[in-house]
Amino acid sequence: MRVFIVALLLAVAFVLTPCVRANDTDRAEQHFKDGVAFLESSQYERASYHLDKAYSLDANWKYLEYIAKTWFALENYQNAVHALDAYLEKGGGKIPATKRKWARGVLERLEKIESNQANNEEAQAHFEKGKDLYRQHRYEKAAIELEKAYELSPSWEFLELMGKIEAALKNYDRAIRAYEKFLEESGDNISEARKKAAKKDLANLETLIRMDEDRKEAPIHYKQGKRELENGQYEEAARSLELAYRLYPNWKFLEYIGEALAGAKSYRRAVNAYRTFLIKGSGKISEETQTRVLNEIAVLTEAFKAGSEETEGEFGEAAGKARDGESFDWDPKKRFLTWIVGGVGVGGFVGAIITSAVANNEQDRIDAICPRGECPLQDLESMQERQDTVNKQQLATRVLVGVGAVGVAAGITLFFVEPLFSTDNKTEVSLTPLLDAEGAGMMIVGRF
């Protein structure tokens, strides 16, 4: 009896199995049709679900072609590679030649994409490291990291920082090429504000290159002026030396400009050159040189105060005494201008301390919200505005420090220079600001 029951069950199972299989095949076919429809309508997630379901019900190698296409559309290239490998293996000679060629071509393309993805990840790591090094002002190491990043993945996104780093290293030609390529390749992918900032940086770099070229020419004119000065060609020397100073405003040139102008009997201009020399060289000029220049100023002042820029004999005699180290009697008087200018300098330093404290306090708050310069997206715009305010405060601090330094330096210089200029009843004062590539200064012109 038991044997009969077992036999009966086996017979039923044998009869029902084809029916179950037929049912699974039908369901798989329906899922496959749905998957292809969703794939064609670009609903890739739903296509992936139905195609995977179809293959799980019926492992038909034909389904693998569409599974691979779906994974490719979803940019899951690793799964796409596995699906195509299985498609070629299981389909074998049953796959038409054109489709075999297509599958192999896609596999080659996917291998390149996977390789590029690995390169992109490594390049991004080098970029982040270079960005940190740039913030630490370690520019050479930062440049190396950016070069590695760009070699692995030549993306325009790296070029802006490359330009900044090369500019910091004074490799202006390389910086300009990086900025130009950045603007060309980024196209509409960057904001107008970012594009405008990059163009401004590019213009500044071009100006710096011109200044560098000018600086290379300045020593030529300077040496020529020195030779002309030694040969007594004072007017020619003055022109050469003034040209050198315009190309490269080195305060050391001013002493020789003063000497050449004095020799050319342009006493007032010579005094102005000597005064500017004392102001710009404050703290760097030896005591001996300062005394000699002050004596020269005294002689020249007497010459143009007397209204005679033609009294070469008297001037030559007095100047000779000054160059031999003989001092002139100073006419001490109340140094009111010294205290005014010095007070402005002290005020500049006080203002710098205040603006610096405010800027540092605000920067700390920004850094707390945006660690390592990475702000939450919802705070990005407001943080940028706050950062712009901090940058303006820091700029104001630098300007005030410059004003303070110039004021104090001018005050110290005036302490020695002011008593030299004395008239009986007239006081004429003119303060002329000086601004050049080396910094700021103040030229005091007048009679006291």
Select the more confidently predicted residue: 294 or 351: 294
pLDDT of residue 114: 65
Please state, rounded to an integer, the average pLDDT across all residues of the chain: 76
Residues 277 and 310 in one domain: yes
Residues 319 and 341 in one domain: no
What would you report as the CA-atom Rg of the chain, rounded to the nearest whole angstrom? 40
Do the Cβ atoms of 303 and 309 come closer than 8 Å? yes
Task: List, for residues 51-83, the tens digit of each pLDDT value.
Answer: 888 888 888 888 888 888 888 888 787 788 888
Residues 299 and 353 in one domain: no
Across the range 90-99, mean pLDDT stands at 81
Cα torsion 35, 37, 42, 43: sign: negative
pLDDT of residue 138: 92
Cα torsion 405, 411, 415, 420: sign: positive
Residue positions counted in the chain: 448
The residues with which 425 forms a beta bridge, in sequence order, are: none
Task: List, for residues 200-258, the tens digit of each pLDDT value.
Answer: 888 888 877 777 666 677 888 888 888 988 898 998 988 988 888 887 888 888 989 99
Domain boundary among 67, 95, 123: 95
381 is a domain residue: no
**φ, ψ of residue 438 in degrees (nearest 5):** -85, -20
Residues 317 and 340 in one domain: no
156 is a domain residue: no
The full DSSP string for 129-179 is HHHHHHHTT-HHHHHHHHHHHHHH---GGGHHHHHHHHHHTT-HHHHHHHH
Tokens of 336: 């009111």
Going by pLDDT thresholds of 50, 70 and 90, the confidence category of residue 133 is very high
Residues 341 and 435 in one domain: yes
Task: List, for residues 245-297, the tens digit of each pLDDT value.
Answer: 887 888 888 989 998 998 888 888 888 899 989 888 888 888 888 888 898 88
Q: Measure the CA angle with vertex 353, ends 351 and 359; round to 5°.
A: 100
pLDDT of residue 145: 93
Task: List, for residues 256-266, the tens digit of each pLDDT value.
Answer: 999 899 888 88
Instruction: Please list the helix, strand and coil fractions of the chain in percent, rounded to the nearest 5, in that order.
Output: 80, 5, 15
408 is a domain residue: yes
241 is a domain residue: yes
Burial of 143 (C-beta count, 10 Å sphere; 0-12/13-18/19+): buried
Q: Tell me what percent of the residues of the chain surpass a pLDDT of 70.
A: 73
Do the Cβ atoms of 430 and 365 come closer than 8 Å? no
Domain boundary among 95, 110, 131: 95
Distance CA 101, CA 97 (A): 6
40 is a domain residue: yes
pLDDT of residue 242: 87
Examine the pLDDT at 322 and tell me if it is beyond 90.
no
pLDDT of residue 21: 54
Residues 348 and 312 in one domain: no
443 is a domain residue: yes
Residues 260 and 340 in one domain: no
329 is a domain residue: no
283 is a domain residue: yes
pTM score of the predicted model: 0.36
Residues 25 and 59 in one domain: yes
Q: Give the relative orientation of helices 234-247 and 253-263 as an angle to the nearest 10 degrees.
A: 150
Task: List, for residues 323-347, the tens digit of each pLDDT value.
Answer: 443 333 333 445 566 667 767 777 7
Instruction: Identify the DSSP state of 248.
Output: S
pLDDT of residue 132: 93
Residues 344 and 267 in one domain: no
Residues 18 and 82 in one domain: yes
Looking only at Cα atoms, what is the longest distance across the chain?
Answer: 151
Do the Cβ atoms of 348 and 409 come closer than 8 Å? no
Residues 252 and 353 in one domain: no
Structural domain including 276 reads 212-323
pLDDT of residue 435: 42
Domain boundary among 265, 293, 323: 323
Examine the pLDDT at 377 and tell me if it is beyond 70.
no
Residues 256 and 347 in one domain: no
Nearest residue to 225 (alpha-carbon basis) of 195, 204, 248, 207: 248
Distance CA 42, CA 228 (A): 82
Cα torsion 149, 154, 155, 157: sign: positive
Task: List, for residues 8-53, the tens digit of each pLDDT value.
Answer: 445 444 544 454 455 778 888 888 888 889 888 889 888 889 888 8
CATH number assigned to the domain comprising residue 236: 1.25.40.10
pLDDT of residue 332: 41
pLDDT of residue 147: 92
Total structural domains within the chain? 3
pLDDT of residue 311: 40
The residues with which 430 forms a beta bridge, in sequence order, are: 445
